Structure 1
Amino acid sequence: MLSLLDLRARIAAGTLTPAGAIDLCREAIANRDPAIGAFVAIDQNPVIPQDGPLAGIAVGIKDIIDTATLPTQMGAAIYEGWQPRADAAIVSRLKERGAVALAKTTTTAFASSDPTTTRNPHDPGHTPGGSSAGSAAAVGAGMLPLALGTQTAGSVIRPASFCGCAAIKPSFRLIPTVGVKTWSWALDTVGLFAASVPDLAYALAAITGRDGIEGEETSSPRIAVVRQDFAGAPEAAADAALATARAAAEKAGAQVFDLSLPQELVTAWERHGALQDFEARQALGFEVTHHRDALPPEVRRNLEAGDAVAPATYDDARRHAHRARRVLKDLFGGFDAILTFSAPGPAPATLVSTGNPRFNRLWTLMGVPCVNVPVPGDGLPVGVQVVGRFGGDGQALAVARLIEGALRG
């Protein structure tokens, strides 16, 4: 994979120019993307800043995020050729920090569940996950050092696990969603994909202006292993990855123990779908009214499910989510991070499904930071998920960095 930190170090040393770093990505895309299909548009003549903490860093932008120089088609035929007049807030911020918004990456329609044609970079017969399919595949294949995704259920962490790259879904609203197509305003979160946890930490610090995110360290964190039994049993490969990551954390000096979550969090997990569907039906009101028959089948199914959610059910889901967040905040008084599954297992051998987000839903609903850490092994990639307290993105990244370092030996 292309390391953001390696590119930045070479640029700082004068052995690589920002334009040269962008050319490396162009070459990688030309070599690998014909077999993967991670991109829907590429800027052939981008402005390449010479200065800034992200100068020379090419970024893939998920195709539900507005870009003024590239179309934003949202994975949907009804928006084919749609060209926004302005960048989304996060794209503007990336450019201010020196990055190049080089390409738009594939997304399932409206970041829902209808699969893209993108293939897993480790095996073309397997899904890359979704909805941030192209972003995860582009980074996992070594075509880009950084990409943007979004997560409403599990659309950052799960595809990162399937494609073997690091990723973070930050604390809710740490990265602005202005200019991002809404599915659920209470859940949608912009996240990052990169080659490693240190790359993520550097990028998130540069984007948000919070240097402490990158610099936070931990030597003997208290880590609670949560199996999320309420979400169903994992596959053997995911179970093995969690055990490997646990052993690595203990070897690195972490205090590790098992934890069963209180019922309030289980109840909140059960209500995630009602909240998501209710909001999606309103967020896509225009598309339902004017283009219902042109919507892909999974989008239609989800929006019809939203029609069936009564306002009282939605209000009940919001109340339970609020209570669960308070319970989780108190729980974090006893530990520094949670270690759990990123996905049920490796990427399924199918291109008609993006996999199941059941191990991600609760943490998205709680608005807390989540980091995927790839676990080395034979076969298709499998990751583990480090979950931090709300606003504790630096600490979550520090724990993830500790585990990643121990896994790499």
Structure 2
Amino acid sequence: MHKPPLSACEAAQQLAQRTLRAEDLVHDCLERIDAREPEVQAWTHVAREAALARAKALDQGAHQGLLHGLPIGVKDLIDTVDMPTSYGSSVYADHQPASDASCVALARAAGAVVMGKTVTTEFATFQPNQTRNPRNLAHTPGGSSSGSAAAVADGMVPLALGSQTAGSLSRPAAYCGVVAFKPSFGGINRAGAKPLSDTLDTLGTLARDVPDAALFAAALSGRTSWLVRPLGQHLSRPLRVGLCRSYEWEQALPETQAAMQHAAACVQANSAMTLRDVLLPVDYQQLARAQTAIQLSDQAQSFAFERLNHWAQLSPRLQGIMQAGLAVTLEQYDQAHAWVTRCRAQLAEVFQDVDVLLTPSAPGAAPLGLENTGDPVFCRIWTVLHTPTVNIPAGFAPNGMPVGLQVVGAVGADGLTLAAAHALHVGLGVSEP
């Protein structure tokens, strides 16, 4: 597979030194999009002329910030003032937002070049749109950040914005073989992103490696502590890694089990790391179920306008999701939130003897077919617990499709989680099949 020669961090450095022109970088991205987009179909809108004009202006002006001259993709769930935003639905065909989402405005202020809008599933739920997995076009790219993951994996852009309510960053990243960073809840401002759930929605970044994902997120959050630094700057002792199969382990396919075994062996062989098995509290057995109830109910309410006024334009799958959400009683909803609160209170116990957890991102590699986007079962609990997570490529299935693992940290420990994820990603030594 095509791999651009520079990481985002390397390109950012050269752009700052003026040894690389933003215009040339944008031209490279456009050439790749032209070559591959007819097959991969990662984009709903490519802002060719605007991107080139922006790049030329950046090359002629003062250095703007961490993202100066870097091309990015923006998930079509996120508002852009100068590009249509349809949220993956015909209900909003040709919809033109009145303003940029906060994250887009901040990305532009930091010097980013918005290349266009990447495909999302219908309202970021489970009904896929047109995107295919660039690793094998017959397989799903995952969802809901389908286009963002596919565009980064195929070298169309070095960075892309996504969002997660259950597993919408981690799963497509795992399926496409890229990195996804989901910060601690609220780490990146959500204003201007179509809401699904006030207590679950989290914006995040996709990139080809952890330092790139961290660079993008640091620019959007203002938290330069998220920039990847050596582990020694975070810890004065070895990194303590917890191998966490979670209560969903029975759904892990052989390729995921093999990736976990390989990761465990790599950690044990690394003198800068220690490994121990982590068993989650008993209450966590019901946590994925609680997250599902909250998400279903919240979606039915968040999409009240669409549900009440545009029912016929919703896919049968989304109609079913809405009906399932309306079937969640207020008592069940409150009980689910109470259970989540109880589990969050036990997070200190989970991380008492470890710095990060290593756990599956998805049951296995991307399923064959484009009719569904896979199962977020391994992501639900970490999203509802509000922890930072980083998907890292961790191996390949026998058919050559990527397999990912999540590095999970304590709430607020995003910088350490990113540093650990980078060290683990490098340590796994995963090369192309």
Partner of 1:275: 294
Q: Which residue of structure 1 aligns with residue 314 of structure 2?
A: 295
Partner of 1:175: 188
Cα displacement string for residues 80-101 of structure 1 (whole angstroms, at most 9, x for unaligned residues): 0000010000000100100012
**Alignment partner, residue 204 of structure 1:** 217
- Distance, in Å, in 2 between the alignment partners of 1:215 and 1:359 is 25
Describe how 1:252-331 pairs up with structure 2 within 5 A.
252=270, 253-331=272-350
* Pairing 1:32–2:32 present: no
Deviation, structure 1 residue 366:
0.4
SS at match of 2:29: helix
Local SS of the residue matching 1:322 = helix
* Cα deviation digits, residues 348-388 of structure 1 (max 9, x gap): 00100100110000000001101011024461111110000
Query: What secondary structure does 2:241 align onto?
Result: strand
Q: Distance in 2 between matches of 1:10 and 1:25?
A: 17
Report the Cα distance in structure 2 between the residues aligned to 1:322 and 1:170, rounded to whole angstroms: 19
Q: How much has 1:63 moved relative to structure 2?
A: 0.5
CA-CA distance at 1:184 after TM superposition: 1.0
SS at match of 1:395: helix
- CA displacement 1:265-305 (0-9 Å, x = unmatched): 22222211110011111100000110111101221111101
Query: Residue 38 of structure 1 aligns to which amino acid in structure 2?
Result: A
Aligned-partner SS, 1:65: coil
Deviations 1:101-138 (A, max 9, x none): 21100011000000111110010000000011000000
Q: Specify which of 250, 259, 284 is matched with residue 268 of structure 2.
A: 250
Aligned to 1:16: 20
CA distance in 2, matches of 1:285, 1:232: 36
Residue 8 of structure 2 is matched in structure 1 by 4
Equivalent positions of 1:6-405 (< 5 A) are: 6-46=10-50, 47-48=54-55, 49-50=58-59, 51=63, 52-218=65-231, 220-230=238-248, 232-252=250-270, 253-377=272-396, 379-405=400-426
SS of 2:174 mapped into structure 1: helix
Alpha carbons of structure 1 residues 216 and 260: separation in structure 2 relative to 1, 3 Å: same
Give the TM-score taking structure 1 as reference length.
Answer: 0.97
Q: Distance in 1 between matches of 2:316 and 2:228?
A: 45
Deviation at 1:328, TM superposition (A): 1.1
Q: CA deviation at 1:312?
A: 1.0
In the TM superposition, residue 251 of structure 1 has moved relative to its aligned partner by 2.5
> Deviation of residue 215 (structure 1)?
4.3
CA distance in 2, matches of 1:215, 1:382: 23
The letter for the 2-side match of 1:238 is: T
Alpha-carbon separation, structure 2, partners of 1:408 and 1:382? 13
Contact 2:30/2:48 (<8 A) preserved: no
Identity of aligned residues (%): 39
Deviation at 1:22, TM superposition (A): 1.4
Q: Is the 8 A contact 1:264 1:327 kept in 2?
A: no
SS at match of 1:198: helix
Stretch of structure 1 that moved more, 358-367 or 15-24: 15-24
2-structure distance, mates of 1:217, 1:333 = 22
- Separation in 2, partners of 1:329, 1:83: 44
Partners of 2:339 and 2:247 in 1: CA distance: 19
Q: CA deviation at 1:213?
A: 1.2
Shift of 1:395: 0.8
CA RMSD in angstroms comes to 1.4
**Partner Cα distance (1:337, 1:246) in 2:** 13
Q: Please, which runs of 5 or more residues in structure 2 have no aligned partner?
A: 233-237
Note the residue ranges of structure 1 that are not aligned, 5 or more in a row.
none
**CA distance in 2 between partners of 1:291 and 1:235 (Å):** 39
Query: In the alignment, residue 222 of structure 1 is paired with which amino acid?
Result: R
Distance 1:373 1:215 in 2: 14
In the alignment, the residues of structure 1 paired with residue 380 and residue 317 of structure 2 have an alpha-carbon distance, to the nearest angstrom, of 18
Q: Secondary structure at the match of 1:238?
A: helix
Does the aligned pair in 1 maintain the 2:68–2:110 contact within 8 Å? yes
- Residue 388 of structure 2 contacts residue 413 of structure 2 at CA under 8 Å; is this kept in 1? yes
Partner AA of 2:335 in structure 1: D
Q: CA deviation at 1:233?
A: 2.6
One-letter identity of the residue aligned with 2:19:
T
* Distance in 2 of aligned mates of 1:33 and 1:208: 31
Structure 1: 4+ residue segments shifted above 4 A: none
- Structure 1 contact 217–395 (Cα < 8 Å) conserved: no
Counterparts of 1:127 and 1:325, CA distance in 2: 33
